[in-house]
Structure 1
Amino acid sequence: MPRQSVDRVLYVEDDPDIRAVAELALVDVAGFEARLCESGQQALEQVDDFHPDLVLLDVMMPGMDGPETLRALQERPGGLPVPAVFMTARLQPEEIEEYRAMGAIGVIPKPFDPMTLGDQIRELLAGREGA
C-alpha cells in the first residue's frame, strides 16, 4: 500500500542554480528532507542509502537524461518502489504521455514556483492515491 505522505525527496537536476532554488523550495518551504543529485549516475549511487519517498527528475540532462535515469532506477534489483515525477519545460501532450508511460505519476512544469513546488508534489501523490 502506498504511503500517504512524502518526507524524503531525491531530486536529480544538472543545473546548480535550479538545484539551489529547488532545495530551498523542498526543504525550507515544503518541509521535506531532500537529497540533491547533479546527475543520473549520482542518483543511482545514492538512492539506496537515502531511501526516498519520491524521486523528482529533470528530463534534459547531459549524459544520462531523466528518462534514462528512471529506467535505470526501475531496472535495479527490487525496482523503484516509490513514485517518480519529471520536471521539464517539455510539456507537449505527447511528451507528457510518454513520461507517464515510463512510470512517472506526473510532470511539474519548469520554470517552477518555489513557493508551490511542495504543494504540486502533494497534489500529484493525492491524485495517484485517489485513483
Structure 2
Amino acid sequence: MVQEGEAGAGDGLIAPRRLPNPYLESPQRMDLHRELLFNQRIGKNVLNQKSELQKALSKHKEKQIMNQVKEHKETPELERAIAERARRLEQAEQSTEEVETGTNPTLQEVRARLRHAAPSPAAGAH
C-alpha cells in the first residue's frame, strides 16, 4: 500500500481510503450503543447474567412453587378421610351381606353372645 504522503499527484494513483460503514453511522445503532454505555455506567445488568448461586436459588424457588401447586391440586385431607371411610363402609356392607346369605341368622346371634360372654385369654392367665 502506498501512503498518501508518498503518492505524488503526478503519479496518477488514487490514495486508498476506508469504505464507509452505513451500519456504524445508523441512528438506531448509535441509540443502542448510547443506552448500553449508560447502563454500564450505572451498573445495570442488561444481559440478565446471573451467578451460579442466583441460578441455583431461582431453580430451587421454581421447584418449591411447582410442589406447592401440585399439593394444592391434590385432594385435601378431609376429602381423603371421607373417601376412605366411605370405602370401608361399603366393604363392611358387602361383607355383612355375604355373611348373612352364607349362614343362619340365629347362629350369628349365638356366636355374638358367646364372644361377649367368653372371658378374654389375658384375663384368665392371672
- TM-score (structure 2 length as normaliser): 0.15
Larger Rg: 2
Query: Which structure shows the higher helix fraction?
Result: 2
Q: TM-score, normalised by structure 1?
A: 0.15
Bigger relative contact order, structure 1 or 2, given CA contacts below 8 A and separation 6+? 1
Kindly indicate which of the two structures has a greater share of residues assigned to strand: 1
